[in-house]
Structures are given as structure tokens and as C-alpha cells.
Structure 1
Amino acid sequence: MFYGGMMGYYYDPTLIFVIIGALLSLVASARVNSTYNKYSKVRSMSGMTGAEAAKRLLNSQGIYDVQVRPVSGQLTDHYDPRSKTVNLSDSVYDSTSVAAIGVAAHECGHAMQDNTGYVPLKLRGAIVPVANIGSQAAFPIILLGFFIGGVGSPLVNIGLILFSVAVLFQLVTLPVEFNASSRAIHLLGEVGILGSEELGHTRKVLGAAALTYVAALAATVLQLARLVFLFGGRRQDD
């Protein structure tokens, strides 16, 4: 951005926020991939596949209206509350590893949240449409406001508010994901799908996955801080 002074006219010191956010995301992604790959080689003693474990966990909670389906991709696992489906990736659906069972159980945790009306999950679902619009529209609105009215213009402030919704979404995501993993670990032991040592392995897999959400929140907060520093000051004509 257009910065003057001794550091150079086009130097943007806030780029450090972007770099830090990117590094955090890369480290978290590498950690979850390496941890998953490590424990995807450890076969569960029960011999159950991710799909079989998911169905058993759901049934143990009296949930019979949620289907377990395979989806293509690597670690593309997710629960869809609209279609009531637990969608498991190729490396999870048919795998008997403790890593695969842990990931499948985590997605079942979301289905259980939906079944019990878990408030943070409902809140995240309500925020999703606004967060999607905000993350896409924020930058154009901020730039338009800057060129029309300069730093601190009303349009810039609207853009910053819209981007803040994306930060709120990431913040609400944390308890949703942590709770799903907690439910997964507890039930895998209670139902008897994994032994105590296997649960330790699965806990490491889900813990590494949780770091990706923490990194995503940190990166989004840093991006918001950068936008505030660049565009959120007082108007130049004040």
C-alpha cells in the first residue's frame, strides 16, 4: 500500500501480518498431515472401518436418520446438516486405522451436536451466509471506500465490519470443533471401538486437526488487524 517515509514510498510494513498468518496455516497443515499419515498406518484392534465405526457411534446415540457416505478427496470429511449425512473421504471410509476411525468419530460428533441442538453449531450455521458474503465483499467495498472517501470513510468501515463477521465465524468454529473431538474420544472409549492406547493415538490426530482451526482464526484476526491499520484510521480531512 502507499506508504511514505524513510522506509520507501511503496513499503507496506503490515505485510508481516500476512506472512505470520500464512506461516501459521502452513505449520498447522503440515502438522495435521504428518500426524494423520503416521497413525493411518496403525490398524485398530477392532478391525472396524471408519464407516463402520461411524454407523455404530451414531446408532449408540439413537441417531438413525443420518447416513454415512463416501466422498472423494483427501481429508475432505464433513458433516452436512442439510442432508443429514456424515461424508467420509476415501482415506477414511474404508480404512481400519485409528486415524481414520478418529476422523469418522469427529464428524459423528457434529451429527450428535446437530441432534441435541448444540448452540454454537446453530450459531455457526446462522453466521455462514453472512460470513461468506462478508469475506467476498469486504475487500472491494474497502477499496472502493478508500478511493472515494479516503481512510476512515463510511464505506471502508462497512467493509471492515463485514470482514469482522468472518473473524466471528472462525471464533465460533473453535468450540464447535473442540466439542466434536471431545465427544468422539469419549464415545470411542465408551462404546469399546478403541482401546486406551489407541485413544491416545486418535487424540493426537484430532488435536493436530484442531490446530488448523486455531491457525485459521489467528490468520483471519491478523488480516483484520492489517486492514484496520491500513484503512481504519481517521479520515484524512478530519
Structure 2
Amino acid sequence: MIEFCSEARHRDYDLAYRGETALGEQLPWDIPGPQPAFVDIERAGLIRGAVLDCGCGTGENALFLASKGYAVTGVDLAPTAISRARQKSAERAIDVAFAVADALELAGYEECFDTVVDSGMAHVFGSGELPRYAAALHHACRPDAVLFVLGIDEQHASGSRLSEAVSRLAEDEPGPGARTLPMIDEDSLREAFADGWTVGSIGEANMRAVLPHAGRDTVVPALLAQFVRV
């Protein structure tokens, strides 16, 4: 699994949403709409009850699910991201409870959720943090809650256009935001969620993204995992 420094993550993400990193104004993960994988999950009837979008960014997945009638909470570590998500919520007249929160703690949320969606959150955690993330989600979820994790696939995405673009930034503009593309592998997911969760499925998927500084859509090989809280 590609490690992504915790200290750097806390320091850089709000800078990234303010456009103050090497990634520029258009962040690769901040796409103008929900991830297609979660649209498909909703259409399949797999979303139920109270929903948490963990690492919601500027809120597109949360807003999509709320527009379908679900009660949705969206949390993110970056205050700038949450501010933009709240602005979208007001502009679209879609009610979502957006809040600044650390996904490794999720303080104040105890057995609140029946479904969790994670778009590119788990894959930023290193091997030491991913079990903490699984434990925090376990604390926040009710028994039998379902978690869907969408993360960039380490096995297949290393040669993707997005990976190459981020690597070039790291070489040309060293500093905040110019790092190796965060990725995850199936074994890391299984190991991290071994305690308190059962594996429903882990399979290949795609993640929609935007190439930094180019503004063009791209598709990155991803893993889509489903876990059930014990």
C-alpha cells in the first residue's frame, strides 16, 4: 500500500482546497458530480437509512444521495471543503449535515449510521492508520451497517494518466500537494477491516478524476469494497 503521511495530510488538505498547492485550482478528486460507482450503488437499492459520506470534500456524493431522499451527513477534515459543500447545499436547496471532523476519530458520532460511502478516503491512510479508520467507522455505525469504499487500485493505477501527472508535479514542483498518488490494495483493506467487519465483496471498479492543470476528465482503475459492520 502506498503510504501517505498523516502530518502532511493534515497540513496540506485545506491548502489544497484553497488552491495553494502544486495541484492548482482543480483538485483531481473534486469532480463536478457524484462518482459513477455510487450512482450505480444507489440505483441498485444498496443505500439505506442514515448515510455518512466520510471524507466528503465539497459534497457532491453527499448531495447526490440527499437528492434521492436519504438523510445524509458529510464530514471532512478541511474547513474550506466543508464551507464549499455548505454553499452548494444552500444553492441547490438540498439538506445535508456537513461538518468538519477527523475521520480517524469521528467524535460525537456513536452508532448513528446505516450506510457509509467513502470516495478516496481510505486510500490516503498508511498501514498504521487504516485500522484506526476502520475502528472509527465501526464506532459511528449501527450493527449491520454497510460501508462502501472506493479507492485507487495500487495494482493497476500506477501507470494511469493521473498517476503520471501527479508524479510529474512532484518532480517539477516539490512541496505541498506534489506527492505520490495515494493508492490501496485488497490485502490492506482486508487486514484493516478484519476486526468488527465482514467482507461483502472487493472488486475492480473505476474512479472518475480530473487531470491537474489540464482540466480534463480521466478514469483511474480503482477498487470497490463492501463491508458489513458486525
Shorter-normalised TM-score: what interval? under 0.3
Greater radius of gyration (CA): 1
Structure with the higher helix share, 1 or 2: 1
The two structures have a TM-score, normalised by structure 1, of: 0.26
Structure with the higher strand share, 1 or 2: 2
